[in-house]
Structure 1
Amino acid sequence: MLRVADALDGINRGLAMVIRWLALLMVLAQFAIVVGRYVFGVNSIAAQESVLYMHATLFMLAAGYTLLVDKHVRVDVFYAGLSPRAQRRIDIFGHLVLLLPSMAALLYWSWPSVRNSWAILEGPIAVGGLEAVFLLKSLIPAFCVLVMLQSFALLIRLFSERSPQ
């Protein structure tokens, strides 16, 4: 089972190694937009939307990796002072009762919107923008799937650990 967990980890690790470059590309694009607007008086809605798309892609597709490396938001007020066994129980509860059901619900409720967006190849957010809102909306189910896969990998590891005495 640990091989399955490693394979699931590999999906998010590999994706993170690719999409991390979006941060640099996003900064360069934003810099070019600012220079174009304030130095040359040129403005492009599509260029501005490209930064929005990159930002959304970076955060939505990196969420699984963030969970993998344990950098997600956690309320550590009590957790940090607990025994490893109690932390393990809280982690299992969090994955099974909070994270997986919420991701499943988000996936279920967002799917019709994503499907409809693809059916009509939904166009730009603003006039002159990118003709790819359907791609932007596709990040929602991708986010859900990647986080759920990582949650399964973490659960495999949590259940395979021996409970401390």
Structure 2
Amino acid sequence: MQEDTSISLSGIFGGLFDGLWWLVHNIGIAFYNFGYAISHPQLWLDWSDKQAIMRFVYYGASVEFFFVVFTTFLVLTAIGMYYRSFMWGMVRGLEGFANTLGRFFAWAGLLMVVQQIIIVFIQRVFARPDMSFGFGIPLQMDISWFAEELKLYNALVVCLCATYTFVQGGHVRVDLVYAGVSYRTKKVIDMTGSLIFMMPTAVLIWLYGWFFLWRHLIVPNPSASDTLERLLNKSRALRWNVETISFSPNGFNGYFLFKILLVSFAGMVFLHAIAFFYRSFLECVEGQGSEGKYLDKDSLGEGEEAYEGAH
């Protein structure tokens, strides 16, 4: 019995040691992988070479890429803890990126409404089966194409304005204990949430969305289980096969754009999880006086303070 116990304990400690060594090894090798990728861009950015495309596909959702990102996060965090001004700069940069992109693509909501009005007007008043937009080379499509394209505007708002809405504090939140705890406890909850929920969720969406995207852009279809060698072998028969299938006759045929937006959404959520973690850490360390520091929130204008946060 004692021998069985000692064997099981040694197996547990051996597994922990192997896992720790794997983690440390991948963090260490990430510096080499990053340097090699930067110094040899033609191996994965020269898309006239079919093997370069397959390398890009493989490394975009690989363990190597994950640890390059993870190691970069660790290095920047270490520097930021030593130089708080540097960490504040990263917070302002990432939040500024989310705000700029969100404020721009929020106009897609207005375009969606205007286009819907035009569709109804053209269809009911002029009884036309198609519409034409543009100067010089017009975009002429069936009414059903423009009607289905409205979903793209909605996807633009959802995917590219999500982090902007987070910065502005516009997401609906369910509060069970948060409001009743102390200021520093709130910041610890925020930091824990960004590390345990936001980042892993964004990584999972990226991993699934990455190959989901490329399976609708190229053939032979890449798979998450394919090794680099297998993908390089597949590159001999590689050709572009962009998805242009619509769900209705003459309907919108650019559904591959939704796959691109899914990956973009995951990347932006991951980046903002970093910004949220850094902001929560800095506000925790510097005290309640730093809450909302450098936060660029929209305003309805002078005299509308009572409505702030309600839009």
So what's the TM-score if we normalise by structure 1?
0.91
Q: Aligned partner of 2:255: which letter?
A: V
Aligned positions of 1:108-147 closer than 5 A: 108-119=207-218, 120-126=241-247, 127-147=249-269
CA displacement 1:71-119 (0-9 Å, x = unmatched)? 2232123212222112112111211111110111011011111011122
Aligned positions of 1:14-163 closer than 5 A: 14-43=100-129, 44-119=143-218, 120-126=241-247, 127-161=249-283, 162=285
* Inter-partner Cα distance in structure 2 for 1:135 and 1:142: 10
Say whether 1:3 aligns with 2:76: no
Distance verdict in 2 for CA 1:42–1:78, change over 3 Å: farther
SS at match of 1:72: coil
> Contact conserved, 1:46 with 1:129, CA < 8 A, in 2?
yes
SS at match of 2:217: helix
> Contact conserved, 1:123 with 1:131, CA < 8 A, in 2?
yes
> Contact conserved, 2:90 with 2:275, CA < 8 A, in 1?
yes
* Inter-partner Cα distance in structure 2 for 1:125 and 1:152: 37
Equivalent pairs: percent with the same residue?
30
| CA-CA distance at 1:3 after TM superposition | 0.6
RMSD: 1.8
> Contact conserved, 2:102 with 2:162, CA < 8 A, in 1?
no
Residue segments in structure 2 that go unaligned for 5+ positions in a row: 1-86, 130-142, 219-240, 289-311
SS at match of 1:143: helix
CA displacement 1:92-148 (0-9 Å, x = unmatched)? 121111111011101101111101112221113323123311112111010011111
In our comparison, the structure showing a higher alpha carbon Rg is: 2
| CA-CA distance at 1:163 after TM superposition | 6.5
* Inter-partner Cα distance in structure 2 for 1:25 and 1:49: 14
* Structure ranking higher in helix proportion: 1
* Inter-partner Cα distance in structure 1 for 2:180 and 2:122: 52
Bigger shift: residues 51-60 or 125-134: 125-134
So what's the TM-score if we normalise by structure 2?
0.50
> Contact conserved, 1:117 with 1:133, CA < 8 A, in 2?
no
SS at match of 2:275: helix
Q: Aligned partner of 1:38: which letter?
A: R
Q: Aligned partner of 2:259: which letter?
A: K
Say whether 1:12 aligns with 2:12: no
